[in-house]
Amino acid sequence: MFDITDFINTNRDRYVTELKDYLAIPSISALPHHAGDVRRCAEWTADEMRRVGLDNVRLIDTPGNPIVYGEWLKAPGAPTMLFYGHYDVQPVDPLELWESPPFEATVRDGEIYARGSADDKGQVFMHFKAIEAHLKKAGSLPINIKVIIEGEEEVGSKNLDQFIVANKPMLAADVVVISDSAMFDRGVPSICYSLRGLAYFQIDLRGTSSDLHSGVFGGAVANPAMVLAQILAQMKDKGGRIKIPGFYDNVRPLSEEERAQWKTLPFNEKKYRKDLGAPKLAGEKEFTVLERVWARPTFEVNGILSGFTGEGAKTVIPAVAMAKVSMRLVPDQKPDRVAELFEAYVKNVAPKTVEVKVTRMHGGEPWITDYDNPYVQAAGRAIEQGFGRTPVFCREGGSIPVVSTFQRELGIPAVLFGVGLPDENAHAPNERLDLTNFHNGIVASAALYTELGGMKT
Ligand code: BES
Ligand code: MN
Ligand code: MN
């Protein structure tokens, strides 16, 4: 292991230079006109996997973006680790708020700024370099590895889900490892044992066949912007509780033990509020901030569109209004069930004066695991080798839909160790990754393979 860590330390700068090439490809899965870039990024990922020494590397076409697969299976008797990550990234708007161009990675104050740096190319690349270090230095890996990197995580992983269900023998492994989350805080590495799920919708309202003069017709027809606001206002009460009937039916209550454990985490509510620039925090009073974001479901309006929003004033009744809304789900809520409840509630509260259409966009199941297993303990030891500190256990509020699919379909535990930071602006302007965490993450990943290699299958 010393040799390998030495090798990683010696190559520190080269890793950053190479990562910049990866970050230069605008692999935005949400925008159809980037389809060519997404494919080019899949090819770059595959080429890199070949360069680091993986075998049988190939692109697997899907009805959407290609999946990249590779493996190294020459450690007979040793466990097999499935490594999962994603090469697609989120859109970059609003572009004018970026301090350097999103696809020209720039290092400032020990952090690399670019879309995809933390989420998730940087963290995927960290494992590529850990694999490379073993293969270059030792000529072999201490475990068998299957790598699967997808290009549709940011849009719901629908095709990967189907691929997993249809290819279980190909993906068979003892454990799945994922680095696509943040650590608890700077200097506080963590292992994540639960993610929230997601149910995402578009609501479309139509009042009339055309926009109307508000003086000529105002008073006689409904205003869809107003009606939309009234519908949305009925989703939550003042205390932050969601009013959709049945919504909380399957919410697993938090154990007192878990609540007590979270109270020991180094969390400063005042600093949290200040860092976010919020005048006051919101949410359910009976729950702490960590409980609200890790273990409680939410209803969010992602965006609203209707009517005249240009400069000046225009007197008009818009014909249509639209909103994108989503709910974060917690164990044991099911996205399909929640979708039925939501659609029924919208129908119920919407007045007859408008046409309402609800479209299901995407969803993902929440995930939780019992972290008392030897793989998680091995990961804990590896993180200590990379970061000089034992990790804390935490949940995350974000979603990685495919994690519960892996657990359900392959019947294997997942180890989520992410090295991002909560304030690294994933999905926002000026996304970045701390280069010390990136480097320590390579050391920790290389150590993880050694730790897993020492385990019985
Ligand atoms: N890497 C994130 C998920 C994440 C973020 C996990 C923070 C833990 C902490 C992932 O790329 C992501 O953004 N997922 C989407 C899911 C989706 C689009 C279906 C999300 O959470 O919004
Ligand atoms: Mn991600
Ligand atoms: Mn993301």
Give the three-class secondary structure for 443: helix
H-helix or E-strand containing 18? Answer: helix 12-23
Ligand nearest to the CA of 399: 1
Structure confidence at residue 440 (pLDDT): 98
- Closest listed residue to residue 400, CA positions, set 40, 153, 115, 33: 153
Catalytic one among 37, 48, 71, 88? 88
Instruction: Indicate the pLDDT class of residue 457, thresholds 50, 70 and 90.
Output: confident
- Closest listed residue to residue 161, CA positions, set 83, 71, 67: 67
**Atom number in ligand 1 closest to CA 119:** 1
**What DSSP letter does each residue of 295-337 carry, written as one string?**
HS-EEEEEEEEES--SSS---EE-SEEEEEEEEEE-TT--HHH
Whether the predicted pLDDT of 302 surpasses 70: yes
Ligand nearest to the CA of 419: 1
Angle, to 10 degrees, between the axis of helix 35-51 and the axis of helix 121-137?
20
pLDDT digits (tens, 9 = 90+) for 127-184: 999 999 999 999 999 999 999 999 999 999 999 999 999 999 999 999 999 999 999 9
- Closest listed residue to residue 114, CA positions, set 11, 13, 21, 12: 21
Q: How far is the CA of 120 from the centre of ligand 2 (A)?
A: 5
Torsion of CA 114, 116, 119, 120, to 10 degrees: -130
Whether the predicted pLDDT of 381 surpasses 80: yes
Cβ–Cβ under 8 Å, residues 402 and 195: no
Structure confidence at residue 34 (pLDDT): 98
Ligand nearest to the CA of 122: 2
Please say if 109 is a catalytic residue. no
Whether the predicted pLDDT of 385 surpasses 70: yes
Sheet of strand 355-364, all strands in order from the earlier edge strand to the far edge? 298-306, 320-329, 197-206, 355-364
Query: pTM here?
Result: 0.95
Q: How far is the CA of 456 from the centre of ligand 3 (A)?
A: 34
> How many Cβ atoms from other residues are within 10 Å of residue 240's Cβ?
16
Q: Which residues line ligand 1 (CB under 6 A)?
A: 119-120, 153-154, 156, 180-182, 195, 198, 362, 364, 396, 398-401
Average pLDDT, whole number, for the chain?
Answer: 97
Ligand 1, from 180, 298, 423: best to mutate by most atoms within 8 Å of Cβ? 180
Structure confidence at residue 371 (pLDDT): 87
**Atom number in ligand 1 closest to CA 182:** 9
Cβ–Cβ under 8 Å, residues 244 and 236: no
The dihedral of CA 52, 183, 241, 231: what is its sign?
negative
Instruction: Indicate the pLDDT class of residue 293, thresholds 50, 70 and 90.
Output: very high
Ligand 1, from 400, 405, 416, 419: best to mutate by most atoms within 8 Å of Cβ? 400
Q: How far is the CA of 329 from the centre of ligand 2 (A)?
A: 17
pLDDT digits (tens, 9 = 90+) for 2-12: 699 999 999 99
Cβ–Cβ under 8 Å, residues 231 and 346: yes
Angle at 246 between CA 244 and CA 247, to 5 degrees: 60
Angle, to 10 degrees, between the axis of helix 12-23 and the axis of helix 2-10?
60
> How many Cβ atoms from other residues are within 10 Å of residue 451's Cβ?
23
Q: How far is the CA of 18 from the centre of ligand 3 (A)?
A: 22
User: Ligand 1 atom 13: the closest Cα is on which residue?
Assistant: 154
Separation CA 221–CA 215 (nearest Å): 11
User: Ligand 1 atom 16: the closest Cα is on which residue?
Assistant: 399
Instruction: Indicate the pLDDT class of residue 423, thresholds 50, 70 and 90.
Output: very high
Instruction: Indicate the pLDDT class of residue 1, thresholds 50, 70 and 90.
Output: low
**Atom number in ligand 1 closest to CA 401:** 19
Please say if 153 is a catalytic residue. yes
For 71-87, what is the mean pLDDT? 98
Separation CA 86–CA 124 (nearest Å): 7
